[in-house]
Amino acid sequence: MNVGLIGFGRTGKSVASVLLESSDTRLEWVIRGSANPEQKTAAECLGIVSNNPARIFGRHDLSMTQLLDRHPVDVIIDFSCCDGLELYAEEAARRGIAIISAISQYPEERIAQLQALGAHTRILWSPNITLGINFLILAAKILKQIAPDADIEIIEEHFANKPETSGTAKVIAESLDKPCDEIKSIRAGGIVGRHEILFGFPNQTVRLSHESIAREAFGNGVLFAAQNLLQKDHGFYSMQDLLEPYFFERSVAG
């Protein structure tokens, strides 16, 4: 599977390092905001020894048509910003290239655009593209169905100067019909990120929790998403749509 990556900030770099080290994917190119006159490869920038030295292009170095003609890919992965879509979305959909966007928030019209493009290719949008968090959300929704009377609390812990409630915690709250202002936000030191969904019963407690160790977790989520998305029909998917078949397969029984 050949992939292209849009965005080479802190998270984009972590994702690139996972892609470079995966035997299942080939990172064909990276697009970043600034130009790359020194022609450094992604592998060089990241200090990774790889016989696949993914080239880096500046956003304005060449057109998407030129890039995809010369360096075709199966999937485009977007860790840039909410305007990144302007660069590649229409062209990718025309060519049937799958799109995986990890942008945390889009305005309404961008979401509508992605939904429309889903007629022509496979599109996944996941603001928190980790396996762990998305599994947690699905599991919590199921437990809520089993035990509708249980009390639910959502607790998130992050580094001291993270300004507001974590976006992931808000997604969890919305999934469980909890008001976002009831989320308990802990802020201390350098905590990378921890989310806990607590179900309180009269005589027992169930806690589902997720701790982030490093941003490379997003890269592992991207690998899972890419592998599963390519087996889907055209359409607009969430990470939970990809996970659901695992919940519905009868083989866990017994």
The verdict on 205 binding a second copy (CB under 8 A) reads yes
Among 44, 71, 150, 234, binds a second copy (CB under 8 A): 150
The verdict on 203 binding a second copy (CB under 8 A) reads yes
148's tokens? 């509708």
The answer for residues whose C-beta is within 8 angstroms of residue 189's C-beta and 6 or more apart is 159, 160
Query: Helix, strand or coil for residue 7?
Result: coil
The verdict on 220 binding a second copy (CB under 8 A) reads yes
60: left (phi over 0), alpha (psi -120 to 50) or beta: alpha
**What is the DSSP code string of 99-141?**
EEE--S---HHHHHHHHHHTTTSEEEE-SS--HHHHHHHHHHH
Measured from the CB atom, the residue of 10 and 248 that comes closer to a second copy is 248
DSSP 84: H
Measured from the CB atom, the residue of 69 and 174 that comes closer to a second copy is 174
Q: What's the closest the beta carbon of residue 149 comes to a second copy, in angstroms?
A: 10
Among 131, 165, 170, 235, binds a second copy (CB under 8 A): 131
Measured from the CB atom, the residue of 51 and 203 that comes closer to a second copy is 203
Among 62, 116, 180, 186, binds a second copy (CB under 8 A): 186
Measured from the CB atom, the residue of 50 and 238 that comes closer to a second copy is 238
49's tokens? 């020894």
> Checking DSSP bridges between strand 184-187 and strand 194-200, what pairing results, if any?
unpaired
Residues within the interface to a second copy (CB under 8 A):
130-132, 135-136, 138-139, 141-143, 145-147, 150-153, 155, 157, 159-160, 184-192, 198-217, 219-220, 224, 238, 240-241, 243-244, 246-254
